């Protein structure tokens, strides 16, 4: 090992060069504490987020259930780690692991890499989801777009296109919500769920819990077709669940 490499190793991985047994034990104790703190923080972030957003989550789940009830489909997209979350969402709906729950039509717009790279190369990366929405989406479908920052331009463009096509739109974001919050505040996005932390890991962990819960709530609503028909909708087809409807559900 050259001196430069060894110096780098000692600087960034000092525990690999420790010979003192007490130092190693101290390191393990620190890591045990760190592990427990990260788990505690993750739990607290999720508990706070769901307590503050539970009514809106139910409303979004009900709106999505209504779309499936009418024979519509879900489209999902994201970038990077959020792209894998988008794939996960689509698989959950298409291939439910809970016995007795029906498969629901869902398409992840990240999956066709030939299409994504063709549009990115020939037009722009900002349009990679727009072109697919134009080709695949129909009026009354739903779009979920996932971003830890809320600032992904291709997702914002997708929401604008979805709006013109009369799709139900649901955004997942983090921190302060970024530009996704801005378009929601301007009534250009039906639902926007923001995990208020700067930690990317805590945001992603909360997003996973969120789409699992939405999946569960959607199926629960689909088991109560009378509820789907009773709920009033506004011009966008967005729903606001009443307390009486919520109390009637067995979840």
Phi-psi region of 37 (alpha: psi -120 to 50; beta: other; left: phi over 0): alpha
Band (21; pLDDT cuts 50, 70, 90): low
Quote the percentage of the chain above a pLDDT of 70. 85
Instruction: Dump pLDDT digits (tens) for 152-164.
Output: 999 999 999 999 9
**Confidence class of residue 250 from pLDDT cuts 50, 70 and 90?**
very low
* pLDDT tens digit sequence for 53-79: 999 999 999 999 999 999 999 999 999
Q: How confident is the model at residue 239 (pLDDT cuts 50, 70, 90)?
A: very low
**CB within 8 Å of 157: residues ≥ 6 apart:** 126, 127, 129, 130
What b-and-e string marks burial along 5-31, b requiring 16 or more CB atoms within 10 Å of the CB? Answer: eeeeeeeeeeeeeeeeeeeeeeeeeee
Q: How far is it, in rounded angstroms, from Cα 41 to Cα 24? A: 26
Confidence (pLDDT) at 243: 45
pLDDT digits (tens, 9 = 90+) for 121-175: 999 999 999 999 999 999 999 999 999 999 999 999 999 999 999 999 999 999 9
Has residue 234 got a pLDDT over 70? no
Q: Grade residue 8 by pLDDT with cuts at 50, 70 and 90.
A: confident
Better-predicted residue by pLDDT, 236 or 180? 180
Q: What is the per-residue pLDDT for 61?
A: 98
d(CA 140, CA 137): 9
């Amino acid at each position: 090992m050259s001196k430069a490499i060894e110096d780098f190793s000692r600087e960034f991985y000092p525990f690999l060069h420790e010979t003192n047994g007490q130092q190693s034990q101290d390191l393990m104790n620190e890591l045990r504490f760190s592990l427990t703190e990260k788990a505690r923080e993750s739990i607290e972030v999720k508990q706070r987020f769901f307590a503050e957003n539970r009514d809106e989550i139910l409303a979004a789940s009900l709106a999505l259930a209504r779309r499936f009830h009418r024979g519509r489909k879900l489209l999902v997209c994201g970038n990077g780690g959020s792209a894998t979350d988008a794939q996960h969402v689509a698989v959950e709906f298409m291939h439910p692991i809970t016995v007795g729950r029906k498969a629901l039509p869902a398409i992840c717009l990240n999956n066709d890499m030939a299409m994504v790279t063709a549009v990115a190369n020939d037009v722009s990366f900002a349009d990679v989801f727009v072109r697919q929405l134009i080709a695949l989406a129909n009026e009354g479908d739903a779009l979920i777009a996932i971003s830890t920052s809320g600032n992904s331009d291709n997702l914002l463009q997708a929401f604008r296109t979805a709006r013109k096509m009369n799709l139900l739109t649901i955004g997942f974001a983090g921190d302060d919500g970024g530009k996704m919050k801005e378009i929601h505040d301007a009534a250009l996005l039906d639902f926007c769920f923001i995990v208020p932390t700067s930690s990317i890991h805590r945001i992603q962990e909360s997003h996973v819990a969120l789409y699992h819960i939405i999946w569960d709530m959607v199926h629960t609503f689909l088991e109560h077709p009378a509820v789907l028909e009773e709920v009033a909708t506004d011009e966008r087809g967005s729903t606001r669940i009443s307390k009486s409807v919520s109390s009637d559900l067995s979840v």
